[in-house]
Amino acid sequence: MAVTKALLNVLKGERLATPPMWLMRQAGRYLPEYRALRTEKGGFLALATDPAAAAEVTVQPIRRFGFDGAILFSDILMVPWALGQELSFGPGEGPRLVPPLATQPLASLERAAERLDPVYETVRRVRAMLPAETTFLGFAGSPWTVATYMVAGQGSRDQGETRMFAYRDPAAFDVIVDAIVAMTVDYLARQIEAGVEAVQLFDSWAGSLSPEQFERWVIAPNAAIVRALKERHPHVPVIGFPKGAGGKLPAYAAGTGVDAIGLDETVDPAWADAVLPAGLPVQGNLDPIALEVGGAALTRGIDRVLEAFRDRPHIFNLGHGIGQHTPIAHVEQLVARVRS
């Protein structure tokens, strides 16, 4: 008997009475088993580049909750690392990339694509460990979001330094974006060849751009990645997650060619259902804070999302990553409610 992969089927356009589910950052700090392994390995990058450990982290939430999708444990800044920047995760602070491209040109860096090899080995190991019915998701950061870290060397509240760079010297910024696109296509293609069955493009800072800049630095580069990936792997679905896009979501759907759209928690799900193309699969979009709070607030949030998307292909997820202080019992409440 053929195994049913509910999440993969929804990504290909099937509508199910009970939506499949996974959670962004489901392999992470809210799990005691993850915290124990990270302490043992001594840091995020050491954990992410150890295939045995990264594979174990990827499957931990599948064992505990039985989610329909497993998301590869890695980071969106692996691509800048492979493009030649040095990557570090200091205690109590966000990731750092050196040298920042605001002060040193991309051409001065020495590419090191072999830094991605442990990721492909992780994929091979995870694929062998997952239940047959679980869909395996790979991912990469979208070019705009990745570029904001590469230019500034770290995250920021408004991506102001990168936005000014892009306005002042769009030709130089194009060089950076084009390099990210090329590396990302190969990175995702090799994840697919190693065993992932669908991929997600995370554009965490898409909401910081004006409509014109959104068209140039979000829609166009993501469309280029989707086209190139479809040439190499035409049957593998691509999920686009442009966090903060809001009213620009219909343009993103039309312009990028993604197979499904992830919605952040600020999007009204009823509005999204009304304005997005009929039949386009959507993913989301429970507020992660409602999950952390639990109880009646969580139940109301779940029901609102389920009601809005009852007539289209839908993957239940959060509107962003699960918070590190989220109680396990609240995730269990979520799973039970969605599946009831």
Write out the catalytic residue numbers.
25, 29, 38, 75, 149
Size (the chain), residues: 340
Which residue, 88, 16, 67, is CA-closest to 309? 16
Q: What is the DSSP letter of 219?
A: I
Q: How far apart are the C-alpha atoms of 180 and 284, rounded to whole Å?
A: 26
Q: How far apart are the C-alpha atoms of 173 and 212, rounded to whole Å?
A: 15
SS3 74: coil
**Residue 318: phi, psi to the nearest 5?**
-85, 170
End-to-end CA distance of the chain: 25
SS3 304: helix
Q: How far is CA 149 from the centre of its chain?
A: 16
The DSSP code sequence of 165-213 is HHHH-HHHHHHHHHHHHHHHHHHHHHHHHHT-SEEEEEETTGGGS-HHH
Beta bridge partners of 158: none
For the chain, give percent helix, strand, coil, nearest 5: 55, 15, 35
Which residue, 111, 128, 116, is CA-closest to 76? 116
- Burial string for 130-156 (b: 16+ CB within 10 Å, else e) reads beeebbbbbbbbbbbbbbbbbbbbebb
- Pair of tokens at residue 58: 């990827």
Q: How far apart are the C-alpha atoms of 264 and 267, rounded to whole Å?
A: 6
